[in-house]
Amino acid sequence: MAVMTSLMLAGCAVGPDFTKPAAPKVDRYTARPLAPTVATPGVAGGQAQRFADGHDIAADWWTLFHSKPLNELIEHSLARNPDLKAAQAALSVARETLLAQRGVYYPGVAAGFSANREKQSTLLAPTPNYPVVSSEFQYNLFTPQVSVSYVPDVFGLNRRTVESVKAQEQQVRFQMIAAYNTLVANVVVAAIQQGALQAEVDATRQLIGANGDMARILRYQFAKGYASRLDLAAQESQLAQVTATLPPLRKALAQQRDLLAVLAGRFPNQAPAEQFDLASLRLPQELPVSLPSTLVAQRPDVREARANLHAASAQIGIAIANRLPNIELTANTGSTALALSKVFTAGTGFWGLGAAATAPLFEGGKLLHAERAAKAAYVQAAEQYRSTVLSAFQNVADTLTALEQDAAGLKAAAAAADAAKVTLDLSQRQARDGYASYLALLSAEQAYQQARINLIQAQANRYADTAALFQALGGGWWHRAELTKEEYAR
């Protein structure tokens, strides 16, 4: 037993000890240093944006848009979204599985009680006066006992197994956090898209009304002989084309409302009554940009990949330990009596101690190849981790570039819309005075319609890509108590 005790105390965990990967040695995300974006005065979402290097991200970053309906919808979605609730339940499963696995550190204790009625017989020796006879004995046997078994973790099999399960629990945890971030970003973007589509629907209705008025005027002028059939046909064609663009926009708007309802855990017929207007949203002008060295700690997908790498590392130790001897210590004590009232009386007790060691001698190469497979899986997980980190940096870089180009695109779209409006006003005035053809007016109307839609889309892009930056940088989940609290000691 002294030998067993020394083995138990001096045991070490075989396999590699996991080391957290170092942060990438880069000092910025883009090839060029970040500069403030251009401003477009007089246009919703046209403010200049500045990038604050090294600043932290707020937990409720969506409040920077200063929209009360948006804030309420997000909080409702966080409370009722079924996908997020499923991810939270999955984390509870993983945590309970880890707690259950930790039971291998402790001895197993079992209590038992058996009651038997038995019959035995003995053959009596013959005598001259008596033939051979059989004597039968019947009796009851009562046996309560307690058994203890313990597997000393000599080579660290239990520790590596718990380490692997804990890493898997961390994977599920960051999957849940990713679901949280994705939900918030999806609600924000869906609200922005709803506002953009509503603006496009409103603009299209106005254009349909303007084209309808002009078509009526031309019909009157054609009847009086002041306008040609060609001008009337062209205007009616333009009216039909503009009208045809409305149903797809209304369909997309309805689908966006259905999406917002589902994200909030509601049925489509229970869609929130809030109407989001791009003009009511305030574009965040100070954008925090986390240091590249901290991005790997903030992105849930990177942390999930790191947990997967940790689990793969522990699996190597498990595979190695499975090839080594396994020791089990057992003990039992109890009492055996012929009557229940005699249990635990003097002379009825028993006890036993035991130790057993088993070692694999030949498994047909199964254990060897399992170890090699575990090592190959670690290499795979390491490359997947590197790929995830690269994709995370690409995501941030792409979003930063998008914000820069969005600002330039909005400025160009606003200039084009202003120019198209001037052209349309002049064409309408000249057409009324008889100095311009209706074909020229139709061309000006078409250009103005497209310019307005382009402007709305450019505004939506600025808002949506701003939300995408917060998500790309991790979403500030580390400031939310419900996402960072630990329900048990680590």
Q: d(Cα 450, Cα 482) in Å, to the nearest integer? A: 46
Q: Specify which residues 148 forms β-bridges with.
A: 109, 331
Q: How far is residue 168 from each of residues 14, 79, 103, 477, 484, measured CA to CA in Å?
A: 19, 25, 17, 20, 17
Distance between CA 349 and CA 343 in Å, rounded? 8
Residues 6+ apart with CB under 8 A from 302: 295, 296, 385, 388, 389, 392
Pair 70, 263: CB distance under 8 Å: no
Average pLDDT along the chain: 90
What is the rounded average pLDDT of the residues 147-162?
93
SS3 339: coil
What's the pLDDT score for residue 344?
86
pLDDT value of position 7: 43
- The pLDDT of 407-413, averaged and rounded, is 96
More confident residue, 15 or 1: 15
| Of 283, 308, 297, 285, the residue nearest 473 (C-alpha) | 297
Strand partners, 115: 142
* pLDDT tens digit sequence for 13-55: 898 999 999 999 999 999 999 999 999 999 999 999 999 999 9
pTM score of the predicted model: 0.88
Q: Among the listed ranges 173-177, 406-410, 438-442, which one has the minimum average pLDDT value?
A: 438-442
318 phi/psi in degrees, rounded to 5: -65, -45
> Which of 241-245, 274-278, 457-461 is most confident?
457-461
Cross-sheet strand order for the sheet of 108-123: 108-123, 134-150, 326-335, 349-358
Residue that is written with structure tokens 């679901």 in the block: 179
Decide which of 279 and 77 is more confident.
77
In this prediction, what percent of the chain has a pLDDT beyond 70? Answer: 93
- Please say whether the beta carbons of 134 and 67 come within 8 A: no
**pLDDT band, very low/low/confident/very high, at 284 (cuts 50, 70, 90):** very high
Q: pLDDT grade, residue 270 (50/70/90)?
A: confident
| The two structure tokens encoding residue 128 | 């001259």
Distance CA 442, CA 238 (A): 7
Predicted local distance difference test score (pLDDT) of residue 291: 94
Domains of the chain: 14-106+156-324+366-484 (1.20.1600.10)
According to the model, what pLDDT value does residue 401 have? 96
Residue-wise DSSP of 421-488: HHHHHHHHHHHHHTSS-HHHHHHHHHHHHHHHHHHHHHHHHHHHHHHHHHHHTTTTGGG-HHHH--SS
Q: What are 456's two structure tokens?
A: 């709305």
* 57: three-class secondary structure by DSSP: coil
* Tokens matching residue 67: 């929209």
Q: Provide the pLDDT for residue 2.
A: 43
Please report, to the nearest 10 degrees, the dihedral formed by the alpha carbons of residues 44, 50, 53, 58 taken in order: -30
Q: Which two tokens stand for residue 69?
A: 């309906």
Of the candidates 32, 59, 28, 61, the residue with the CA atom closest to the CA atom of residue 393: 28
Task: Work out the number of other CB atoms within 10 angstroms of the CB of residue 320.
Answer: 22
381 or 212, higher pLDDT = 381
- pLDDT at residue 11, rounded to an integer: 53
Task: Encode pLDDT of 345-380 as tens digits.
Answer: 888 899 999 999 999 998 899 999 999 999 999 999
Burial class (CB in 10 A: 0-12, 13-18, 19+), 117: exposed
- Per-residue pLDDT, averaged over 228-255, amounts to 91
What's the residue count for the chain?
A: 490
- Residue 59 phi, psi dihedral angles, 5° rounding: -65, -35
Q: Which of 232, 406, 293, 275 is nearest to 26 (CA)?
A: 293
For tokens 């305030």, the residue is 282
At 490 the pLDDT is 37
Confidence of residue 489 (pLDDT cuts 50, 70, 90): very low
Say if residue 6's pLDDT is above 80.
no
Residues 6+ apart with CB under 8 A from 391: 301
CA-closest candidate to residue 330, choices 309, 352, 310, 349: 352
Share of the chain above pLDDT 90, in %: 69
CA-closest candidate to residue 92, choices 490, 409, 487: 487
Q: Can you give the pLDDT at residue 140?
A: 85
295-351 pLDDT, tens digit per residue, is 999 999 999 999 999 999 999 999 999 999 999 999 999 999 888 888 888 888 999
- Strands (E) located in 348-404: 349-358
- Determine contact, residues 451/438, Cβ cutoff 8 Å: no
pLDDT, tens digit, for every residue of 178-216?
Answer: 999 999 999 999 999 999 999 999 989 988 888 888 888
Kindly list the distances between the CA atom of residue 339 and the CA atoms of 114, 141, 332, 347, in Å, as whole numbers in the listed order. Answer: 12, 7, 21, 13
Going by their DSSP bridges, the two strands 349-358 and 134-150 should be labelled as unpaired
pLDDT of 233 higher than 70: yes
Q: Is the pLDDT of residue 146 over 50?
A: yes
Q: Quick one: pLDDT band at residue 128, thresholds 50, 70, 90? A: low
Report residue 10's pLDDT band, with 50, 70 and 90 as the boundaries. Answer: very low
Are 401 and 468 in contact by the 8 Å Cβ rule? The answer is no
Distance CA 23, CA 293 (A): 5
pLDDT value, residue 126? 62
